[in-house]
Structures are given as structure tokens and as C-alpha cells.
Amino acid sequence: MKNLIRTAAFLKPYAWQVIATLVMLLTLTGLNLLVPRIIQNVIDDGLLRGDTTYLIRSALLLLGLGLGSALLGMGNRYGSEWVAAHVGYDLRNRMYDHIQYLPFSYHDHAQSGQLISRCIEDVRAIERFAGSSIPELVRFVFLTIGILAVMVSANATLALISLLPMIPLILMTASFGTKIGKLFFAVDMAVGEVSNRLQENVTGVQVVRAFAREQYEIRRFEAANKDVFVKWLHVIDEWAKIMPTTNWLITIGTILILYFGGQMVIDGTLTIGAVVAFNAYLLMMAEPAQALTGLVNAGGEAAAGAQRVFEVLDTEPDIRSKKDALTLSTLRGEVEFRNVSLKYQDEKVSSLSDVNLQVHRNQIVALIGPTGSGKTSLINLIPRFYDVTDGAVLIDRHDVRDVELTSLRRQIGIVLQTSLLFSDTIKANIAYGRPDATDEEIFAAAKAAQAHEFIESFTKGYETIVGERGVTLSGGQRQRVAIARALLMDPRILILDDSLSSVDTQTEKLIQSALDVLMEGRTTFVIAHRLSTVRRADMILVMDKGQIVEHGTHDELLARGGLYKEIHDLQLMQRDGFEEAMIESILTEKPQHENTIIAGRSNSG
């Protein structure tokens, strides 16, 4: 109920339209009540008096009324649909926008299928309710009061007797109303789950196929589908109970009138005409009584939808700029972590504990360390994707929680570890952060990311549309488009989260040298496993179990002989093995190539 009242608030901007619709509806109801009168007059006056002009007039009047009520009916229907569509439009906009601002931590635990079904299906239910049920409700109240008044004034005793069945009817409807909302909520949740199953199976289709798990997934889907089925049956069983019973109770009213009214007529206290008239009134009640069930039903459906919609809208995005947040102008690019700890929502252990870090402008910082040691978690704090549990992250000495988010994020170019693209052209994907970029800028960014060449090789070049999430590109191609996308931002702070993992060594080299130029004059964070990427950094952070265990330059860290040295030795060992083999083969087979090795990368690009 509370949710429904909140829903009604969405009608506010359209108050006038709602009132107009209502007026049309009430006038229409009035006009409909006139028709029997006219016909009665035709019979009583026109026919009895033998007046032909009266007949013509009545016929024209009927036609006029028909036209009038048609226009009103049209206006009412269109009006209510108009209001409904606009309410839906507003709600979808709000939901969409709200979801966009909900923080990472919300989306980590949210199921996208459920979110989508809330935006579309649940909004639909609210829309229907707001558009047509609310005016209907008003009409219902008016009609009921009118009929009741007429009945009671005609014969109070008989009115009371014949209205007796209304009591169980109202009680039933009330209990139906309380139950149906919950049942619809269950239906909505079940539908959301079906939507989740679909979402997962489309996104993970390759895994399902690779493991020949189609039957397994079909069974899981069937379970979810069965749940929708069962939950709907619960709703329907309520319908099946209330709908026929409503009709029946009206009939019982007729029977009561017949029996008691008939007795009265026999006793001589009532006329037959009065009994017949009473029955007619009662039948007029039938329509609104049935409509009531529909109304309560729509109300329940909308309430369930509203609850689900409000669950999302009421989640305050806790990562949002403060009211008096500072809008950053061009950053110098100093980053400081002060005793930073991070514990993700619902987790027991901290993913970062007591991290201290001081990065000067234009420094290059490399992060290395075991999987799950907290590298991604650390860099995610810089654009404030998550808030620290303890300590503070400062950019140019401002706590990131005090600055205006967009002004911060606009100056950070980040290549996320999973390089997701949108189903749009490659060009639009590169220009994602700066839709106003010129073609030259886009090409330049693509060239720096070593993407230009392969993009040009496609039949449609930059206008090639990539599949959802970028599925039609190879992994390394996707990563390079994502790098281009970040470079185009011309950011003050550049963050590369393991962005070259799917790129072959040769291309990596090329990107590396392009980046060398690009990193100049920016503060850069690079996460990588290959030492070739890491070693040139001004500062290397070695992470383990959520802490920075070592930091320094390549040479300093080697001298320390810690974790970094271990990693280094491992990689060196592998490389040594390779170089040995290479040198051996060259020396023994084709000594003439010796020059090229030493000359380096001359002919390879």
C-alpha cells in the first residue's frame, strides 16, 4: 500500500491530464446512464402520442449521444494511456539513471537479469496501474455511491437485505488484495530469476557449449521456469476463487430480493415494479463489483512492481560527489595513499591493509605480485570506484571523497583488466570517453595502441560493429581498443590494469615503445606480470596479501633479494633457457645471422 501511494506521486507532473481523463470518464458514465431514459421516453411519449418528429429528435439525440460518448471514450482511453506511457517513461529514465550511478560494490552483488526485469516488466505494471486503474477507482467510488443512494432512498429494508452479500464480497476482496500483492511479488522474483538464467547462458554460452552442458542448463532453466509457472498458479488460484464468487454473490442478491421482495409483494407492502427496479439496480452494481476485483488485482501487481522498483531507487549510491565537492581543474597528478585499508562488502578479510604510498607527478609506478594480492583493488581506489574502509586516498592532496567525481574521473584514463566493449562501431568505442573527438585524434590513439593496423584490415574499418562485450574481436584486439579508448582521454593519470596480458610479445613491444612516449608527462600506474614491462618504472610496488611488501626501483629491489628477486629469477631462468637455445642454434647453424641479433629489432615490425 505504501508503495502504491508513492507510485501515485509519479502522477503529479500530469495532474491536469489525469483530471481531464477523469472528467471525461465521469461524463461518459453519466451519458451512458441517459440512454435508457431516452428510450423510455420514446416508448412512453413518442409512441403513445404518435409523434413522428419526436421520434426523429430522439433518434438524432441517440446518435448525438453516441458520438459524444464515443469522443469521450476515445479521449478517456487515450488520456489514460498517455498518462501511463509518460509515467512509464519517467520511471524508466529514473531507473536507468539510478543504476548508472550505483557503485561498483552494488553491481558486484546485483544480478543483471533482475535489474533489467525491474526496469521493464515492473515499470509496466506500475504504468498500467497509474494510467488506468486510478481513474477507474474514482469512477468506481462515484458509481457505487450513486447506486447505493438510489437504492436506499427507494426502500431501505430491501436495500439492506439485497446488499447483504456485499459484505462477504468486500471482505473477500480485501483479503484478496492483501494476498495478491505478495503473490505477484513472488511471480516477479521468479521471472527475474528466469531472466538471470537467460542472461548467464547468453554471456557464458561458450562455456556451456565447451563442456556440453546444454542439458544441464536446460534443466536449470526448467526449474526456474517451473517456479514462474507455480508462482503464477498461486495468483491464478486466487483469481479462480474470487472472480466466479463475485458474480455469484450478485446473483445471491437477486435471489434475496426475489424472496424477500416477493414476500413483501404478497403481503401487499411493495409493488412488483419496485422489485424489478431493485433488481435492475443490483445488476448495475455487478459491473463495478467485478471491476473492483480487476482494480485490486492491478493494484497488487503494481505494488509488487513498485516494491521492486523502489528497492533499487531507494539504494542510495554511497559513492557520489558531496554537495560542496571540489571541482578539480587540471591535475598535477600526485597520488597518495595514507594508511589505506579496504574490506569489500560482506567479506571477512581485508583485501588491502595499511597501504602507504606516495607518488609524485609524472612518475611511473608498476605493481607486481601474486594473483589476488590486491593490485586491482589498489588502483580501483584512485578513481574512487570503491571507498576505503580506513585511511584516505589523496589526489593532489585532496581526499578523493571531497572532490567532484566526474572532474576526477575525466582526468583518469583506465584500462580495466576485463576489457569490455559495447556493441557499436569500433570508432564509437574508442571515442567512448570523449564522443566529440575528431577522427584524427581517434586514429592517433588507435595507432599508439597498435590497433590502427588491424582495424583498417577489416572490411568496414573503423565502422565495423563489434558484438556485445566485443565478442567479435580477438582478446588482444579488444585490449588494444580498450587502450586506445583510455589514451584518447589524454588523461593526467593513466592506469593500465594487466592490459597487455592477451597481446603477443611482438605487439607488446610496439605498444611499450608507444607508451614510453605517452607516459611522459603523466602519472602512470601499470599492473603487469612480465618484468619487461615493470622494470622501467620509477617505482615498483610488490604486493602480497593486501600489502605492499617491497618498493623501490628495479635495481634496488634486486639488491634486496626478496619476492621481486624471486619473480625475476624465475622469468630470467625461462628466458635464459630460450636465449641459450637461440644462441646455440645460431652459432652452430647460421653464424651469418649474428649481426642481426645484436643489431636488434631492425626488421621485425
Partner 1 sequence: MTTKIIPPTFITQSEEQLDKGYDPRVAQGLMGFVKPYYGQMLFALALMVVVTAASVSGPYFVKLAIDEGVNAKDPIALRNIVLVYLLVSIVQLGFNYWRVRIMSRVGQHVLYDVRTTMFAHLQRLSLSFYNRYSVGRVITRVINDVGTLREFVTWAVLAIVRNLLGIVGTLIAMIALNFKLSLLTFAVLPLMVFATIAFRKAARKNYRKVRAAVSWANSILAENVNGVRVVQAFSRQQRNHQTFSGYVNRYFLETSLDAAWVASLFTPVIDVLGALATALVVYIGGTAVLGESITAGVLIAFVLYIDRFFEPIRDLSRRFDTLQSTMAGGERILELLKTPVEVRDEENANEMESITGAVRFGHVSFHYSDDPALVLDQIDLDVKPGETVALVGETGAGKTTIVKLLARFHDPTEGCVLVDGVDLRTVTQQSLRRQMGMVLQDPFLFNGTVKENILFGRLDAKDEEVIAAAKAVGAHDFIINLKNGYDTSVEEGGVTLSVGQRQLISFARALLANPRILILDEATSSVDTQTEHIIQSALATLLKGRTSFVIAHRLSTITNADKIVVIEGGKIVEQGTHTELLTKQGVYYDLYRTGFQE
Ligand X SMILES: Nc1ncnc2c1ncn2[C@@H]1O[C@H](COP(=O)(O)OP(=O)(O)O)[C@@H](O)[C@H]1O
In the complex with partner 1, the residue whose CB is nearer, 398 or 535, is 535
- From the CB of 334, what's the least distance to partner 1, in Å? 21
Q: Is 377 in the site for ligand X (CB under 6 A)?
A: yes
Rounded to the nearest 10 degrees, the angle between the axes of helix 475-488 and helix 505-519 is 10
Contact assessment for residue 558 and residue 565, using Cβ atoms and an 8 Å cutoff? yes
Could you say which of 356, 474, 506, 585 contacts Mg ion (CB under 5 A)? 474
Whole-angstrom CA distances from 323 to 76, 113, 137, 404, 528 are 44, 33, 42, 9, 37
In the complex with ligand X, the residue whose CB is nearer, 162 or 351, is 351
Q: Which does 202 bind (CB under 5 to 8 A by kind): ligand X, partner 1, Mg ion, none?
A: partner 1
- In a 3-state reduction of DSSP, which class is residue 221? helix
Handedness of CA 254, 260, 266, 270 (dihedral sign): negative
Give the whole-angstrom CA distance, residue 483 versus residue 419: 9
- From the CB of 375, what's the least distance to ligand X, in Å? 3
In the complex with ligand X, the residue whose CB is nearer, 36 or 475, is 475
Q: Which of residues 327-356 bind ligand X (CB under 6 A)?
A: 344, 347, 351
Exposed / middle / buried, residue 258 (Cβ in 10 Å: 0-12, 13-18, 19+): middle
The alpha helices in 42-111, defined as continuous H runs, are 48-49, 52-101, 104-109
Contact assessment for residue 576 and residue 582, using Cβ atoms and an 8 Å cutoff? no
In the complex with ligand X, the residue whose CB is nearer, 331 or 379, is 379
Question: For Mg ion, which stretch binds (CB under 5 A), given 227-235, 294-302, 405-413, 469-477?
Answer: 469-477
In the complex with partner 1, the residue whose CB is nearer, 170 or 240, is 240
Q: Which does 506 bind (CB under 5 to 8 A by kind): ligand X, Mg ion, partner 1, none?
A: partner 1
> Binding residues for ligand X, how many (CB under 6 A)?
18
CA–CA–CA angle 437, 507, 413 (5° rounding): 35
Give the whole-angstrom CA distance, residue 153 versus residue 571: 99
**Cell numbers standing for residue 125:** 505494471
Could you say which of 69, 132, 246, 373 contacts ligand X (CB under 6 A)? 373
- From the CB of 472, what's the least distance to Mg ion, in Å? 12
In the complex with Mg ion, the residue whose CB is nearer, 67 or 471, is 471
- From the CB of 6, what's the least distance to partner 1, in Å? 21
**Amino acid occupying residue 102:** L
Phi, psi for residue 543 in degrees, rounded to 5: -105, 145
Give the whole-angstrom CA distance, residue 605 versus residue 597: 15
Site string for ligand X, 462-481 (x = CB under 6 A): ---------xxxx-xx----
In the complex with Mg ion, the residue whose CB is nearer, 340 or 421, is 421
Q: Is 574 in the site for Mg ion (CB under 5 A)?
A: no
In the complex with ligand X, the residue whose CB is nearer, 176 or 337, is 337
**Amino acid occupying residue 579:** E
| CA-based nearest residue to 386, from 99, 95, 106 | 106
- From the CB of 447, what's the least distance to ligand X, in Å? 18
Give the whole-angstrom CA distance, residue 411 versus residue 582: 45
Q: Which does 579 bind (CB under 5 to 8 A by kind): ligand X, Mg ion, partner 1, none?
A: partner 1
Query: Closest-CB residue for Mg ion?
Result: 474
Could you say which of 5, 33, 78, 108 contacts ligand X (CB under 6 A)? 108
Beta strands in 406-454 (DSSP E): 412-415
Question: Which residue ranges make up the site for ligand X (CB under 6 A)?
Answer: 108, 344, 347, 351, 369, 371-377, 471-474, 476-477
Question: Which residue ranges make up the site for Mg ion (CB under 5 A)?
Answer: 474-475
